[in-house]
Structure formats: C-alpha cells, structure tokens
Amino acid sequence: MKNQEFMREVVINGVKMEIDLRTATKIDSYKIGDNIKVLKKGYSDNFNVYSGVIVDFVNFKERPAIVVAYYEQDYSGVEIKFETITKDSKDIEIAACLPHELKINKSRVLDKFEIAINEKKKEIDTLEQKRDYFVENFGKFFSIKE
C-alpha cells in the first residue's frame, strides 16, 4: 500500500479520476499579454530572472515558437529585449508570474521608452552643436595650403 501515498482522486468536469502524482504532468497555459518571469543564462554559468510579457505565438510547422519581451536592467539603464523560444532553445525558460510579483504594464514600458528617446535627443543636440561649431570655425583655426 506504499503506492497509495502518491495516488490522488481528482474530479474534472464531473469525471472522477485517480492520478499517480509521480507521473502527473503540469500543463501551463499562456495567452498573449500574460506577464511572465524569464530565466536566462548570462555570463559563465549565471542565470538571471527578468520580468517579461508574452508578445506572440508563432505556429511554425516544425518549430512553434513563443515570442517574449523582457526588461534587462544594467548599469547603462533599462532595455527591452525580445526572445523567440522554441523546443530547441537552450539556456532560457519562462514561468507564470504570480499576482504579487512585479508585472510589466503599458504605462511603465511607455515611460521607459520616453526616457530613452529623450536621452537620444540630447545626444543628437550635442552632436549637432559640435558639427555647427566645427563648420563655423573651421576656417579660423586651419589654413588651407594649395
């Protein structure tokens, strides 16, 4: 009767079944827009967990894929990256995001894009100022000899 400790009775849609928990498989279901956690291998053998969202399911015949967008934050800021996951993908996994965990939402993503856009605009302004200064002062500092 040792096997009885692994057996559970379950009722699904009015049908009573006995399931062996040693061989039972958990099936997760996802839909586009679901918040997820992404476990991705980094440098050496380190794995990092990122907040992500499912962007698309691609129904390829040989290798169906899940496309996820995730936040990667480092010393230079926050970047939104995309990853396509197939049955052959290595060093990456996804898991459902629990209700109490940090989720990606539209306004937060838009704020990050706005910050990145403003930083790039500042870079463009600086480069334009340097270019204009060079054009304006080129003849003053350099003489052209023929």
Give 29-42 pLDDT, tens digit per residue.
889 988 888 888 88
Provide the domain limits for residue 97.
Answer: 29-140
If phi over 0 gives left and psi between -120 and 50 gives alpha, with beta otherwise, what is residue 112? alpha
- Residue 54 pLDDT more than 70? yes
- Say whether pLDDT at 127 is over 90: yes
Q: Is residue 5 part of a domain?
A: no
- Residue 104 has a pLDDT of 64
Domain total of the chain: 1
* Two structure tokens written together for 112: 């990050």
Whether residue 33 is contained in a domain is answered as: yes
- Share the mean pLDDT of the chain: 83
In a domain, 8, yes or no: no
- Domain presence at residue 90: yes
pTM of the model: 0.59
Beta bridge partners of 7: 20
- For residue 10, tell me if it sits in a domain: no
16 located within any domain = no
pLDDT of residue 107: 76
User: What is the DSSP-derived secondary structure letter of residue 63?
Assistant: S
- Is pLDDT larger for residue 32 or for residue 103? 32
How far is it, in rounded angstroms, from Cα 31 to Cα 92? 19
- CA pseudo-torsion sign 39, 41, 45, 47: negative
Could you tell me if residue 100 is inside a domain? yes
Q: Give the model's confidence band at 84: pLDDT under 50 very low, under 70 low, under 90 confident, else very high.
A: very high
> Could you give the strand order of the β-sheet that contains 77-85, starting from the edge strand earlier in sequence?
77-85, 65-74, 47-58, 35-41, 92-96
- Residue 63 counted as domain residue: yes
Per-residue pLDDT band for 1 (boundaries 50, 70, 90) equals: very low
Q: Is 77 helix (H, G, I), strand (E, B) or coil?
A: strand
Residue 88 has pLDDT above 80, yes or no: yes
